[in-house]
Amino acid sequence: MIDLTTLAKLKTADKALTKARIETVKFLPGHKKPSLSKLYQQVQVGWRIVEQILNDVDPAYMKRKRDRSLQRQKERRYK
């Protein structure tokens, strides 16, 4: 079961990512030029909130995720 604070955080993340999706639609022909800074900011806000929730639930998951990412970067660098 999800507690109310987690639900509120998820709603905030959803709003931020929805705004980012709307900015992305502006890339279609015939629309005005999208604001890339707004798009980037909204995506970062949304995913930071999701990361906070994951950290609260399982801190080891985020550590493993970062470790895998670093390992992939090292592999690419030495190829």
The total of other beta-carbon atoms located within 10 Å of residue 31's CB is: 9
pTM: 0.64
Average pLDDT in the chain: 82
**Smallest Cα–Cα separation from 38: which of 20, 51, 62, 26?**
20
Q: Which domain holds residue 55?
A: 4-77
pLDDT digit string (tens) for 20-47? Answer: 887 777 676 766 776 778 778 888 888 8
Count of domains forming the chain: 1
DSSP, collapsed to helix, strand or coil, labels residue 54 as helix
59 Cβ contact list (under 8 Å, min separation 6): none
Q: Distances in Å between the alpha carbon of 60 and those of 54, 65, 73? A: 9, 9, 20
The maximal CA–CA distance of the chain, rounded, in angstroms, is 47
